[in-house]
């Protein structure tokens, strides 16, 4: 059996926070605001995996009002998500994700993100596609107020 899931996440860019995307720290004058480390890419992927397995969303499993998840490394969220879907007999087939940001440029970091995510999930890097785009200066992303990420995944039993 195969199933498909879709995930989306967005976080506001603020000063005084580190910028984490795809499990790696990226040098930038602003970081993403959130209860955890606010890694929009890992959150979107985790939501896609949970959705495909019909297991709700990351807010259900990792609530943003819990002291246990405060400042949590999103790699922990992703690793636990893979473990959760495995309890229903699923494994990751592939992931296709897009990060939407005006700055910083994401493409120089894509390979490091793929390597990190593959290690966290215990899968081959070839199963992960990460793309980057801008909104051509339109909307909150275009004004550099935040970053969003979209992810689609296939899981297999």
Closest CA to 101 of 57, 143, 64: 143
Annotation-wise, does 59 bind a ligand? yes
Tokens coding 93 = 């087939």
Annotation-wise, does 35 bind a ligand? yes
Annotation-wise, does 36 bind a ligand? yes
Annotation-wise, does 37 bind a ligand? no
Sequence-ordered list of residues with C-beta below 8 angstroms from that of 119, at least 6 positions apart, any chain:
none
How far apart, in whole angstroms, are the C-alpha atoms of residue 29 and residue 9? 21
Inter-CA distances, 100 with 116, 122, 140, Å: 19, 26, 11
Annotation-wise, does 4 bind a ligand? no
Coil, helix or strand for 120?
helix
Annotation-wise, does 135 bind a ligand? yes
Annotation-wise, does 140 bind a ligand? yes
Annotation-wise, does 11 bind a ligand? yes
Annotation-wise, does 115 bind a ligand? no
Annotation-wise, does 120 bind a ligand? no
How far apart, in whole angstroms, are the C-alpha atoms of residue 98 and residue 149? 6
Annotation-wise, does 28 bind a ligand? no
Confirm if 133 and 106 have CB atoms less than 8 A apart: no
Annotation-wise, does 58 bind a ligand? yes
Coil, helix or strand for 3?
strand
**Look-up of token digits 């790699």:** 75
Annotation-wise, does 136 bind a ligand? yes
Which residues sit in the known binding site for a divalent metal cation? 9, 11, 43
Which residues sit in the known binding site? 9-11, 35-36, 43, 57-59, 133-136, 140, 143
């Amino acid at each position: 059996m195969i199933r498909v899931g879709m995930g989306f996440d967005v976080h506001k860019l603020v000063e005084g926070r580190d910028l984490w995307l795809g499990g790696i720290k990226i040098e930038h004058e602003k970081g993403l605001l959130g209860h955890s480390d606010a890694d929009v890419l890992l959150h979107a992927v985790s939501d896609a995996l949970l959705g495909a397995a019909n297991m709700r969303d990351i807010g259900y499993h990792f609530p943003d009002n819990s002291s246990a998840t405060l400042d949590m490394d999103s790699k922990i969220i992703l690793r636990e998500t893979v473990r959760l879907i495995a309890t229903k007999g699923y494994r990751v087939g592939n992931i296709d994700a897009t990060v939407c940001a005006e700055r910083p440029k994401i493409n120089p970091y894509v390979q490091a993100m793929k390597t990190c995510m593959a290690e966290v999930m215990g899968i081959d890097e070839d199963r992960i596609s990460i793309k980057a785009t801008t909104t051509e200066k339109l909307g909150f992303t275009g004004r550099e107020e935040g970053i969003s990420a979209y992810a689609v995944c296939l899981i297999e039993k």
